[in-house]
Amino acid sequence: MIVRARTRRADVDSWEAKQIAAVAVEADRKRVEHDKTAIEAVQRMRERGESVKTIALLCGLTETEIRKYGRQAAKSPAAPAESGDRRALDESAAERAQDRADAAQAVADAVPAEFVVSST
């Protein structure tokens, strides 16, 4: 019973690390998507002639944040992201998620297993 319980506990730790990695990948993908949306919005407003100060006031952000989005817009290609670009972003997010999963697994491995009392 003890061996089976410890094995099951290890399985839960492994499952948890995989879940954390999956959530991290999804969170990174969403962050990139939302940043891209904000960058495009700032870019469109600047193209219409709005000043950085006006955009900041309208959006409730600082001028520094708006300038940051403007710099990122200048770095990004004018065309929408193609599937290859999305794949590169997904791979980058997957690498970061794997790092997080490895860290989570290291923490799980460092925690000593609890003593399991057999009910039989």
Contact between 105 and 24 (Cβ < 8 Å): no
Alpha-carbon distance 120 to 116, whole Å? 12
| 69 has a pLDDT exceeding 50 | yes
Q: What is the pLDDT of residue 3?
A: 85
Mean pLDDT of all residues belonging to the chain: 78
Residue 52 or residue 103, greater confidence: 52
The tokens 């697994």 sit on which residue? 105
Does pLDDT of 110 surpass 70? no
* Selected residue with higher pLDDT from 41 and 101: 41
C-beta of residue 94 within 8 angstroms of C-beta of residue 25: yes
CA distance 67 to 1: 61
Give the pTM: 0.55
CA distances from 44 to 41, 54, 61, 75 (A): 5, 13, 16, 15
Read off the pLDDT of each residue in 21-43 and give the average, rounded to a whole number: 93
